[in-house]
Chain A
Amino acid sequence: MSAPITEKKGGFDIRELKNLFGGGGSLKQFGILGALVVIILFFQIWTGGKTLQPGNIINIVQQYSYILILAIGMVMVIIAGHIDLSVGSVAAFTGIIVALSMKDWAFPWWAAILLGLVVGGLIGAWQGFWVAYVGVPAFIVTLAGMLIWRGGNQFIGDSATVPVPQDFQVIGKGYLPEIGPNLGFNNLTMLLGLIVVLILIGLEVRGRRTRKVMGASANAVWISVLRVVILGGVVMVAAYLFATGRVGTSFPISGIILVLLVVAYSFLTNNTIIGRHIYAVGGNKHAAELSGVNSKRVNFFVMMNMSVLAALAGMIFVARSQASGPFDGTGWELDAIAAVFIGGAAVSGGIGTVAGSIIGGLVMAVLSNGLALKGISSDLVQIIKGLVLLIAVGVDVFNKTQGRPSIIGLMTRKDKGGQAPTDDTTSTQVTPGGGTPDTAVPADLPK
C-alpha cells in the first residue's frame, strides 16, 4: 500500500532538495531553520547591517545562552509529555544559594557551581517524585514549584541583591582567551569553528554509511556535499564574526557551555537508551510500558534533568549580571517553552529535537535583539513575539494535519498527495467487530 516510489533517473532533481535537511540528518525542523535564516537576513537589512556585527552576535549569545540551555531540558520534558513552569524560579533559587555560598561561606567558584548543580538536582528529584511516583500532573507540580522556589529565593536572600565575585562571573561574562600568534582574529574561536565543521563532516559520512547498511538509497552525493558546505560555511562565517569583535572579546564562555550541552544532549536523546525511552514514553506510554520501559523512571529523569539545567542557567545569569536578585529568571519558563514549540515539538509529546529547540530559541533571540536594535518598545516586542509563536506553531500543526512534515515538503510537493494522511486510520477502522475490550486499557489521563 505504500506509495509507489517514482524515482527520477539521473541528473539534478530539485525535489531532492527536501533531503537537504530532512531524511537522514538530525535537523528535521528545516522549516524553522529556514525561518531563522529569513529573520536574520531581514534584520540584517532592516538594521543596516547591525545584526551580524561581531559585537551584536556576541551579545545575543551571552544574553540568550541561559534560555537556550533551558530549552534543551524543556524539550525533553515536553517530548515525555510534560511541562515545567518552575525553571525560572529554580534558576533564581539556585542563584541566591550559590551567591550566598561564596559571599558568606567563602566557597571557591568551582565549589559554588557544584553546590548549585546539587541544589538543582535535589529540587528536580523533589518535583520528579511528585510527577512520576505520585502522579500529580507536571503542570501542577511545577506551578507549585514556581511559587515555592521563587518564595525560597526571596526568603533566603531577604529580597535583596547578593553580588558574586569576579572569578565566578567568567561563566556568564567570560570569553575564550587569546592564544598563539596574532593573526587578526581570536585563534581559539576559529579553532572551535574548525572542530565543529569536522564534526559536521563526520556526522554526514556516518549518516551515509548507516543508510548504506540499510540498503537505502543514500541521498545524492551533491546533496551531502551541499549540506556540508552550507552548514560548514555558516559555522566558519559565524566563527570569523565571533573572532573579530572588539579587542578582548571572542566566543563567550557561556556559548561554549551551550555548545557542549547541545552536542551532549543531542547524543543523549538520539543515541542512548534513556533518550529512546523518553521518546517512547511520550509517543505511546502504554506501548512503551508493554515493551518493558519503566515510564516512571523516565518521567523522574526528565524532571530532575530539567531542574539541573535550570540551576546551571541560573548560575550563568547570576555570573553575567554580577549578582543574584529576587526577580531573576522571571518569565524564563515561557521563553523556553516557546523556543521548544517553535522548534517543532508537539504539545501531546513524543515529538521534538534538541537541535530544533535551539533553532526555535535563536528565532526568538534574533527577533528580540533585532527589534531592540531598531528601538521598538518592549510592549510591541511582546506582541510580535506572541504572534510569531502562534504562527510558527500554527503552520506546524497545519502541515502535520496535512500529513506533511515540514515547510520544504510543502514547497517541493508535486504529486497529488492525499495518500499519507489517510493511511494512518487504516487498520484501526478495518476492525469493525473488533476493538480492544475497553476495560483492558485504562483511559489515558489528560496531560
Chain B
Amino acid sequence: MEQGLDSAPTILEMRSITKEFPGVKALDNVSLSVKASEIHAICGENGAGKSTLMKVLSGVYPFGTYEGDIVYEGKTVRFKDIKSSEAAGIVIIHQELALIPELSITENIFLGNEPGRGGVINWVEAQKEATQLLARVGLDDDPDTQVKNIGVGKQQLVEIAKALNKNVKLLILDEPTAALNENDSQHLLDLILGLKSKGISSIMISHKLNEIEQIADQITIIRDGKSIETLNVKADGVDEDRIIRGMVGRTLGNRFPEHTAEIGEVFFEVRDWNVQHPLTAERMVVKNSSFTVRRGEVVGFAGLMGAGRTELAMSLFGRSYGKFLSGHVYKDGKEIKLRTVAEAIDHGIAYVSEDRKALGLNLLDTIKRSIVSAKLRKISKGDVVNEIQEAQISEEYRKSLRIKTPTVEEGVTKLSGGNQQKVVLAKWMFTDPDLLILDEPTRGIDVGAKAEIYGIIRDLAAQGKGIIMISSELPELLGVSDRIYTIFEGKITNELPVAQADPETLMRSMTSSSQKVVA
C-alpha cells in the first residue's frame, strides 16, 4: 500500500470490508486508510456504499454483521455499538442532525454524557465546559439557547462541539454542508481544517466536489460498493473532473433494454413552477422550473440529493410537498389544477415515491390489496370492493411483472426490495396513468431486478405513456431516458437529448449553478 508523501502514522485502516444485506451486496471488499491529522474525503454516487461504510466504522452495524477488519490506532477493534466506537474517539455526525430541538445547546452537548455524580447533573460544570467547547467551534451564542432557535449552520457546530466533548480523534461527517448556505459552509470547512491542525482527523462524505478539492488531503472513491481508488489531492493534482471520472467511470454494459422510442407530441408541460420549503419561508426548494414531457418519452431528471428533484415531483403531485407559490401545469393543451392527490390521480398522473417503505406502501398490507389501493373505485360497485376482481387483477400483475411470491395474499414485507418496487409500479399502473413520475425507481434494488424495472419503464413508454424518471444514477438515466434535465439547487440547469449527454457533462450541470441557457 502506498503511503503517500508524508509519513504520518495511520490512524485507521479498514481492510476488505464486505457488508451484505439480504439480496444485495452493499459493500464488496472495501478498503480505506486514514492517516493521523488528515482530512479524508469519500466520494461516490448515491447508493455507492459511503454511508454504509461509515455505519460499519461507527458500530451502527456491529462487529459480526460484516466481514473484514477495522484496525484503529494499531489495534483491531470490534465495535458493538455507537457507544463503543465513541469511547474509542470515533464520532459520526449524521446528515440528519441528531440534536433535540427543545433542549438547550448545553443540554444537547452533554446528552448521554452528562457531567455529575450518581445521576445528578452538575450544571455549573456543564455550563462552563459548554462555553469552552462553543468557543473552540467559534460559536458565541448563549449556551442556554434552545437548539430550535439557532440556524442549521450553528446546529452543525453544536454537533461538532458535542463530538469534541467526547474527545474525538476521528470525526466522520456525512454531507455536513448539504443544508448550509455558502457562508456557513465556509465556516464549517475552516473549522474542520482547524481541527486538523490540532491533530483531529476527519472523514468527510460530500457531494460538493469543490469543497472536497479545497480541504481534503486524500480522496477515496467508492463505486457500486467497491473502493475504486485513493487519490492524493496535492500529489496527484486532483481536480473536480478527475473525481467525477472516478465516480461515474464504469462501463454501461447492456443492462439497459434496447429500444427505439416512438415519441409523440408534447402532452404535459410545467411552466414557472415555484415551491417554498414547508417550514422556512425564505427557502425556495423549486425555482422557476419549466419542462415538458412527450408521449412515449422517458424524461430523465438528474440531480444530487437535496437538489429539489423529489420536491419538484411531490409538489406537482397534488401539492404533497412544500408550499405551492406559483406555476402552471398543462396537459393535452389545457391547464389543469392538481390541488390534491386525488385530483392528480384523476388527471392520469402517478407518482412512485423514492421511499418505498415510508411513502409507497402500507407495509402491513398484502400484495393484492396494495396493488389496487390507489384506485379502489375501479373495482368497486357502490362502495363495495369486488374481491374476486381484486384477486384477478393482482394475479395478472404478478404474472406480467414477474413479482416473485407464492401468492398475492402474501404480505408486502415478505418481498425483496425489487419485488416490492414491482408491487408499487403495479399499484400505479393500475390507476391507468398518462404520466408516471418515477422517483429513484431502482433504489436499493439488486442488479437483476433493476434490469427488469428498466424493461417495464420502456414498455410503459412504448404504450404511449409519458415517463419522468428521477435518478441519481447517471448510467441508468443515460441508459433508459430519451431526454435528460439536470437540477441543481432547485433550478433546472440543463436539458440534453440523451445522444448528446455524457456522465461528465451531466455531473457538471448537477454540481454547479452556472445556468446554461436551454434551447
Contacts and interface: CB of A to CB of B under 8 A. Distances in A.
Given A214-B395, A434-B443, A437-B305, A426 B417 contact: yes
A215 B408 CA distance: 9
A37 interface: no
B355 A436 contact: yes
Contacts of A432: 26, 47-53, 55
Interface string A276-302: 100110011011111110100000000
Nearest to B365: A283
Contact of A428 (B48, B380, B444): B444
- Size band of the A side of the interface? 35 or more
B117 to A, nearest CB: 33
Contacts of B287: none
Interface in B346-400: 351, 353-365, 368-369, 373-377, 380, 383-385, 387-388, 391-392, 394-395
B409 interface: yes
Interface stretch (B229-237, B290-298, B306-314): B306-314
Interface in B5-55: 21-24, 26, 44-53, 55
A208 B360 CA distance: 30
Given A210-B388, A294-B342, A427-B420, A433 B363 contact: no
B413 interface: yes
A216 interface: yes
A274 interface: yes
Interface in A430-447: 430-442
Contacts of B420: 427
B416 interface: yes
A424 B363 contact: yes
B80 interface: no
B277 interface: yes
B278 A434 contact: no
A356 to B, nearest CB: 14
A272 B383 contact: yes
B341 interface: yes
Given A216-B409, A438-B96, A433 B45 contact: yes
A272 B384 contact: yes
Interface of B: 21-24, 26, 44-53, 55, 95-96, 205, 277-279, 285, 305-306, 310-311, 314, 317-318, 320-321, 340-342, 344-345, 351, 353-365, 368-369, 373-377, 380, 383-385, 387-388, 391-392, 394-395, 404-410, 413-417, 419-420, 427, 440, 443-445, 472
Nearest to B23: A1
A289 B320 contact: yes
29 contacts: A2-B410, A23-B409, A214-B392, A273-B376, A276-B376, A279-B365, A283-B363, A283-B365, A290-B360, A292-B340, A292-B344, A420-B413, A422-B22, A423-B22, A424-B363, A426-B23, A427-B356, A427-B357, A427-B420, A429-B52, A431-B444, A432-B26, A432-B48, A433-B48, A434-B472, A436-B354, A437-B311, A439-B277, A439-B279
Contact of B321 (A5, A429, A430, A440): A440
A396 B74 CA distance: 48
Contact of B361 (A284, A294, A425, A442): A284
Contacts of A429: 21, 26, 52
A420 B444 contact: no
A430 B95 CA distance: 17
Nearest to B320: A290
Given A214-B394, A273-B385, A429-B21, A2 B416 contact: yes
A24 interface: yes
A293 B358 CA distance: 15
Interface core residue of A289, A432, A434 (most chain B CB under 10 Å): A432
A338 B201 CA distance: 55
Nearest to A438: B96
A286 B409 contact: no
Interface string A205-231: 000011101111100000000000000
Nearest to A350: B364
A164 interface: no
Nearest to A444: B358
Contacts of B380: 272-273
Given A291-B373, A432-B52, A441 B355 contact: yes
Nearest to A286: B359
Contact of A286 (B24, B279, B358): B358
B359 A441 contact: yes
Given A215-B407, A437-B306, 9 more contacts: A272-B383, A283-B362, A284-B363, A291-B427, A427-B357, A429-B21, A431-B47, A433-B47, A439-B311
